[in-house]
Amino acid sequence: MTSDKNNAVVFVSLSGVGHVPAGVLSYNEKTEQFVFGYGRKYLERADAVPLDPVLLPLKLRQPVTFRAKEGLPNVFLDASPDSWARKILSIYAPRHPDTMTPFEVLTAVHEPLRTGGLAFGPDASGPRSMADWHDGPPLMRPVSDLEHMAHVIRLVEKHFQDDTLASLRQELSDPVLKALALSFSALGGSRPKAFYRSEDGKDWIAKFSRLGDAWNDPRIEFATMRLAGQCGITTANTRMVALGNGVDVLLVERFDRDENGLPKHFVSGFTLGNLALEGDWKSYQHLAEMARRHGDVKAGMELYRRMAFNALCSNRDDHPKQQAFFVERTKVAITPAYDITPAYIANNSNQYDLALVCGKLRNPKTATLENVLSWPAPFGLRPEEARAVLKDMLGVTKKWREVFAGHGVSAKDIEEVSRRFLQAQRELPPGT
């Protein structure tokens, strides 16, 4: 049964305007179905953009009912807190997010700094939290004290590890600490992170190490991202901050804000590829074809380089949410690359499977040069063009040790990740 608490106005941020009401999302608790319909006034806007260019195009004039087994539609999953952010919800909500409906989790957090261009509210007056437990105006703010934030993160991790949430709530009862902790609440992924604003006014996502890490993960990711940039991949801007006592923080500049600081709407590869969260994620080739079908003619080369680089550094966390696309009125455009880092778990076979299919060989997900070269046509590349691109990238990645050392990665950590770079040190396979 649908009630007012299960109806949310969906806002989307438009260029030069900011958030405007776009439609209504409803949730039926009895059937577990979601329904979304655009508002007539929104569709009449000359600057309207589709929320989901695949399943919710602007030509849609009637509400769409999504099948219950599919759960929350992908475009709203993109905007929903997950993993790390759900831990933060556990601190402040009266019950664990695992006991909340997907609709409750999605609409619990609206803060000015949340990622992407979507937001939610109980009516058309403006975005705000719909959670019963949310008291007062948004508390989230960009972090200015990374050392303080690192301390809060360790508190959160320790209490979750020890299953002592009540004690954690008590420790975070101070309004300043609560505001700091809420600054993680709209960020997904499994690793600790928070919003950060530097002295020059730029907004970043600050990424911290995690308890039990086998290596200095922020610095490894920093070096890997810089190596990817040298390979011709368009990457998000990154910086390293050393806090002392061996604590490093990776800063990733936000690309989901325009020059005026307004949010920019984007969707993940799950949404553009129309992929199930649990199921067949298909291939990089499929994603390139979908991007081209929706107007991004340049995404093919970019995705080919990213696929090749993920194979070269054994990045197994290359699932479709790690690729994103800005949504414009009549087309999409691939965002800068982010979250590129070698596989964390060592593999004694010295071979790693990617999350997405990368080639046409017997094991199509296996990260090998042969697979990377085996299916270039969907990227808009001829075989000889794909070989030339991979040859250039190999010329860069063969020097990965020097790049990592130059960015402050310790000799111990370089040795720890070395088995992930075996493909990067090979010669280009003979042509056919």
pLDDT digits (tens, 9 = 90+) for 151-164: 777 777 766 655 55
Q: Which of 75, 64, 4, 77 is nearest to 33 (CA)?
A: 64
Token pair listed for 354: 């990617």
Same domain, 270 and 189: no
Percentage of the residues of the chain whose pLDDT score is greater than 70: 86
Same domain, 281 and 410: yes
Same domain, 117 and 214: no
**Rg, Å, the chain Cα set:** 22
Q: Is the pLDDT of residue 139 over 50?
A: no
pLDDT digits (tens, 9 = 90+) for 76-129: 999 987 766 676 777 777 677 778 888 988 998 776 778 899 999 999 999 988
Whole-model pTM: value is 0.91
Q: Is the pLDDT of residue 427 over 80?
A: yes
**Structural domains counted in the chain:** 3
Same domain, 211 and 87: no
The mean per-residue pLDDT over the stretch 195-220 comes to: 86
Residue 258: inside a domain: no
Mean pLDDT of the chain: 87
- CA–CA separation, 339 and 327 (whole Å): 20
Q: What is the CATH number of the domain that holds 226?
A: 3.30.200
Residue 140: inside a domain: no
Same domain, 178 and 276: no
CB-based contact 151:144 (threshold 8 Å): no
Q: Residue 421's domain spans which residues?
A: 266-425
Residue 330: inside a domain: yes
- CA–CA separation, 334 and 400 (whole Å): 26
Residue 137: inside a domain: no
pLDDT of the residue at 5: 84
Same domain, 163 and 231: yes
Same domain, 108 and 167: no
Same domain, 336 and 420: yes
